[in-house]
Structure 1
Amino acid sequence: MIALSLGLIAAGGAGVAVLLLQVGHRTQVVTVVRDVQVGQVLTAKDLGKASVALDSTVKAVNADDLGQVVGKRAAVELRPGSLLAPSQVTRDDLVKAGEQLVPIGLKPDQVPATALMPGQKVQLVHVPVQGEAEIDKAPDSSPRTLPGRVVKASGAAPGTGVVVVDVATSADDGPTAAAWVAAGTLRLVLAAPGGR
């Protein structure tokens, strides 16, 4: 009994030591305290600080760097209570010079199972209405496509399930893509990694 008691005391002491060791390795990091939309410029009121025990595989902005984050744009949608990762902010405008933003509504059966994320490359594909041939296109030729990049994807709208995807495309292609959207002949295809 004495040996067992001594063993339990030793094990308890080791557990306390491990816990104290973990507490001693806490890191001050930047947190998100308010909802921030994609492309929104971050302010000091959007961010906070927290002391956490951080795994080495988790990338978070150090609290000392908070001032360097303020003024940058959110590259993804940010939610309160989450840690801020360096990859979630950018100095670049999400829609660059020479580009236009085209909103595309996708029905539930047109939304890829893979979540659409900002920065993903896509192809905007013109799919003519059945029986309608594209001008200057042979009947058996490939459909016309335009390159684009996802800027933001909304959640599914209640009732309809429609997802609106903001796609950045060149200023030359923007009006064409908008016309395809209006005619209901545009489809969005995810490009392979690397844009191939």
Structure 2
Amino acid sequence: MIALSLGLIAAGGAGVAVLLLQVGHRTEVVTVVRDVQVGQVLTEQDLGKASIALDPAVKAVHASDLDQVVGKRAAVELRPGSILAPSQVTKDSLVKAGEQLVPIGLKPEQIPATVLVPGQKVQLVHVPVQGETGTGKASDSPPQTLPGRVVKASGAAPGTGVVVVDVATSADDGPTVAAWVSAGTLRLVLAAPDGR
């Protein structure tokens, strides 16, 4: 009986030691507590802290670095309950000097099936209505294209499937792209990974 009691006490002590060891290896990290849109400046109210057992392979912003991410912009859309990763924030504006942000509403057949992500390079293609050239060129001329960069893409609207894509273009190209959007003659294609 005595031996059994001593064994149970030892086992209980070992269990407590393991538990304390696990608690000792917990890490305080920064979490997201409310929705943050792409490009939005992060505030203290957007962020929280949590103590977790963090796998070394998981990259997370440590709670001690909270002040360093406040004031930066969200590089991706952030959802409540998620752990904030360093790659999800940026100090740069998503629209650079000399650029304009053009919102483009596109029907499903006007965009690639591939999910568009911030920073992705795209080509904005002008496809005139059949029989119209608008520039005096022959109708079989190659379509006019302009470069752009995705800043944000919405989800498909219920019923219509329309996706609104915010695209950064040069200030010179912005009005042209807006005119193509208004005329319904714009198509969006993905640029090659190297941007060419």
TM-score w.r.t. structure 1 length? 0.86
Q: 1:13-47 CA distances to partner (integer Å, 9 max, x unpaired)? A: 99987766544322111000011111111110100
Percent of pairs with identical residues: 86
2:168 corresponding residue in structure 1: 168
- State the Cα deviation string for residues 65-113 of structure 1 (Å, max 9, x = none): 0001001111111110001111111111111111111111111233322
Between the aligned partners of 1:86 and 1:99, the Cα distance in structure 2 is 26
The corresponding residue for 2:48 is 48
* DSSP 3-state at the match of 2:131: coil
Gaps of at least 5 residues in structure 1 are 1-11
Cα distance, 1:14–1:121 mapped onto 2, change above 3 Å: farther
In the other structure, the counterpart of 1:9 is: none
| Deviation larger for 117-126 or 130-139 | 130-139
Give the structure 2 partner of residue 89 of structure 1.
89
CA RMSD of aligned residues (A): 2.3
The alignment status of 1:132 with 2:132, answered yes or no, reads yes
Say if 1:62 and 1:132 are closer, same or farther in 2 by CA, change over 3 A: same
The answer as to whether partners of 2:132 and 2:139 remain within 8 angstroms in 1 is no
How many residues matched? 187
Question: What residue is the counterpart of 1:67 in the other structure?
Answer: 67
Task: Using structure 2 for the length normalisation, give the TM-score.
Answer: 0.86
Deviations 1:162-187 (A, max 9, x none): 11000000000000000000000001
Distance 1:189 1:16 in 2: 59
AA in 2 matched with 1:81: G
Report the Cα distance in structure 2 between the residues aligned to 1:194 and 1:19, rounded to whole angstroms: 50
CA distance in 1, matches of 2:52, 2:194: 35
